[in-house]
Amino acid sequence: MNKPNVIGKLIAHRHAFGLAVVLVGAVFYATTFWLNQWLFVTIEFNHRVNWLFIPSGVRLLMVMLSDHLGALGIVLGSYLIEWLYFDNEADWLDLVSPLISGGAPLLAKWTLAHWFKVGANLERLTPKILAQYALWFAGFSSTLHQIWFAIHTTAAYRIEGWIPMFIGDVMGNLFVLGLLYVVVKVARRWRGRAGAL
């Protein structure tokens, strides 16, 4: 009799955890976006294209760590950004850019797993494959975004923004991955020193 209750509670906890991952991811992504805009407004190419775009690295990291839940968090955070930052009149067209923002890293991860046989949990990930993933994702994301901007927005956002967006995405990816590398190294040293005591 208690077995269905236990299973039901496990399922409820799993859904609550998934919802928390999506919501925290959305807030983290949107906050990173606004921080990037504030820090690098003087070096942006235009209102939607940055020469250094740290949120690209956050998208890459969120999808690497939490797969489709990370992608959903990115979509939700991007929609909030669209609605609050770019356009006060949210409509269905405002979903396209967020779907690209969340879908591009997920598709890049899936192709990475297929082409390089990395596996769903990234067990065979090497620095070389990670760099290729960062480049592939930046190219994929910037291409899809620029196509959408060329279709949907004014001339200021046309295809000439592809190179700056690609560079900005690559730089953001490398910044976040480099920061993660430093954090992991420091954590390992700290844990090693704590273990030695």
Secondary element (H or E) of residue 128? helix 127-152
Return d(Cα 58, Cα 177) in angstroms, integer: 9
Q: How sure is the predictor about 157, in pLDDT bands with cuts at 50, 70 and 90?
A: low
Q: Between residues 61 and 156, which one has the greater pLDDT? A: 61
- 64-83 mean pLDDT: 89
Take residue 10 and report the two structure tokens written for it: 């496990």
pLDDT band at 12, cuts 50/70/90?
Answer: low
For residues 152-168, average pLDDT: 74
d(C-alpha 49, C-alpha 53), whole Å: 8
Higher pLDDT, 2 or 101: 101
Q: Which of 62-71, 123-132, 135-144 has the lowest mean pLDDT?
A: 123-132
**Whole-Å CA distances, 109 to 24, 89, 145:** 21, 33, 18
pLDDT at res. 30: 92
The pLDDT value recorded for residue 73 is 94
Report the topology of domain 2-196. Answer: Arp2/3 complex 21 kDa subunit ARPC3 (1.10.1760)
What is the distance between the alpha carbons of residues 78 and 83, in angstroms, rounded to a whole number?
9
Per-residue tokens: 114 = 């297929």
pTM: 0.81
Cα–Cα dist 101/106, whole Å: 9
